[in-house]
Amino acid sequence: MPIKITMPALSPTMEEGNLAKWLVKEGDTVSAGDVIAEIETDKATMEVEAVDEGTVAKLVVSEGTEGVKVNALIAVLAEEGEDASEAAKAAEGGESAPAKEAPKAEEKKDEPAPAKAEASAKAEAAPSKSDDAAKGERVFASPLARRIAKDAGIDLKTLKGSGPKGRIVKADVEKAREEGVPAGKAADAPAAASAAKPMSDDAVLKLFEEGSYELVPHDSMRKTIARRLVEAKSTIPHFYLTVDCELDALLKLRKELNAAAPVVKTDDGEKPAYKLSVNDMVIKAMAMALQAVPDANVSWTEANMVRHKHADVGVAVSIPGGLITPIIRKAEQKTLSAISNEMKDLAGRARNRKLKPEEYQGGSTAVSNLGMFGIKDFSAVINPPHATILAVGAGEQRPVVKDGELAVATVMSATLSTDHRAVDGVLGAELLAAFKRLIENPMGMLV
């Protein structure tokens, strides 16, 4: 009677897999435990063993086929003494034959732990019949070892296997990676090829109870934000510096300047000509600090370092569905009142999505302030083409030591995220030190 081999479920959530490679061909004789194929899932490449002995009558699914459903027929074995061609016809014709497949993950869960470990070790140590594509040289390695080596850029030819008959296994590749074995030809593969595939929408939804959610389609802004954040965190080597700034002098000056604001007539009646916020003064301080440390007022490109002549400060503004960073151009040259009024205009039009592209594109740095929400400190993601972004926390009263005595001061934490390609640690520290001086001695922002 023909023996059907179906696509096994290699994990509880697996619905389909890719038949990466057949390790047998039609007419081959196999025994129980022989590795017959390599199956790719979204997380790994795994070997499939025959669960019975016989002759390969037909390979129903060709290697390289993607999206093969779990339990779909992939091959047919003929039992001893059975005609292979007749077995293939009978199986394809739908005769009732027992479907024999690799044990599913659900069936394995009742095995005792030692049995699981033994099965796992057996799968890892089973010989591979794959040949190296380079010169036809045979490199015996498990599929998992090959995958890890490819991701790490390690040439398998440089490794000595510890598995049966010198086969390279997972432990050999991980040891080589830890020891810093030089990359071989595998390192020439594009980095994108080794990126892990994200979970499919269906796989994510399976993790949640049906009826406990609703699907909200992404709008173009959310998609753009997601793409740029992934790009920023994937391609920019971030590092972070944090400093605490005392705000008492700044708060005193702000109060005095607001009290001295002239009154002007508007359509809504008489109003002060300006009303400064702490954020307005942070923008000015950041702009002046960049002028004091010009080597930090830069952007990175592969060919050149772009050194900006002015401090164009982007300011993160929350809007429905996302955020945007309108830019205060030449902020170091503007008065606090001009920055305040311009910021109010930009923020208002940003929330109504009325900004022009030139009002939010470019810039040389950015400020993100979550202090109004009581956030003490955080680290912001750099917004290309910037090389820095300043994350500002809430001002709060904290105990401080002054002249050897304990006192209370209003303190704000500020964290600078920098692109390490453009701004090194010392340079970033110099920029933060200049910012701190201006915040704690705010009269310097009036000159």
Q: pTM for the whole thing?
A: 0.58
Q: Does residue 207 belong to any structural domain of this protein?
A: no
Q: Which amino acid is at 284?
A: K
Q: Does any domain span residue 116?
A: no
Q: Which residues pair with 409 in a beta bridge?
A: 398
Measured at the CA of 12, the angle between CA 7 and CA 16, to 5 degrees, comes to 35
Residues 144 and 26 in one domain: no
Q: Is residue 221 part of a domain?
A: no
Output the pLDDT for position 50: 83
In a domain, 204, yes or no: no
Please list the pLDDT of the chain residue by residue as tens digits (447 residues).
778 888 888 755 567 888 888 999 888 888 888 888 888 764 446 788 888 888 888 888 888 888 888 888 888 888 877 777 777 776 665 543 344 444 443 444 444 444 444 444 444 444 444 444 444 456 777 777 787 787 777 888 888 887 766 778 777 887 887 666 555 544 444 444 445 567 788 888 888 888 898 988 887 778 888 988 999 999 999 999 999 999 999 999 999 999 999 999 888 889 999 999 999 999 999 999 999 999 999 999 999 999 999 999 999 999 888 899 999 999 999 999 999 999 999 999 998 888 888 899 999 999 999 999 999 999 999 999 999 999 999 999 999 999 999 999 999 999 999 999 999 999 999 999 999 999 999 999 998
Q: Quick one: 371 and 296 in the same domain?
A: yes
Residues 27 and 143 in one domain: no
The CATH number of the domain holding residue 251 is 3.30.559.10
User: Is 420 an annotated catalytic residue?
Assistant: yes
Q: For residue 12, what are the domain limits? A: 3-110
Side chain identity at 103, as an amino acid letter? P
Of 355, 371, 254, 363, the C-alpha closest to 315 is 363
Asked whether residue 75 is assigned to any structural domain, the reply reads yes
The answer to whether residue 223 is domain-embedded is: no
For residues 142-161, b (16+ Cβ closer than 10 Å) or e, as one string? bbbbbbbbbbbbbbbeebeb
Say how many domains are in the chain.
3
Which residue, of 84, 110, 136, is where some domain finishes?
Answer: 110
Catalytic annotation, pick one of 238, 308, 386, 420: 420
Q: Is 138 among the domain residues? A: yes
Give the separation between CA 302 and CA 238, rounded to whole angstroms: 17
- 169 φ/ψ angles, rounded to the nearest 5 degrees: -120, 180
Do 98 and 177 belong to one domain?
no
Final residue in a domain of this structure, among 110, 134, 152: 110
Amino acid at 197: K
Q: Are residues 266 and 180 in the same domain?
A: no
* Contact call for residues 392 and 368 (beta carbons, < 8 A): yes
Task: Please tell me whether residues 292 and 346 are part of one structural domain.
Answer: yes
**Cα dist from 240 to 69, 199, 377, 402, whole Å:** 47, 30, 12, 27
Residue 141 shares a structural domain with residue 106: no
As beta bridge partners, residue 413 has: 244
Same structural domain, 157 and 32: no
Residue 136 sits in a domain whose CATH number is 4.10.320.10
Last residue in a domain, options 110, 134, 153: 110
Residue 222 lies in a domain: no
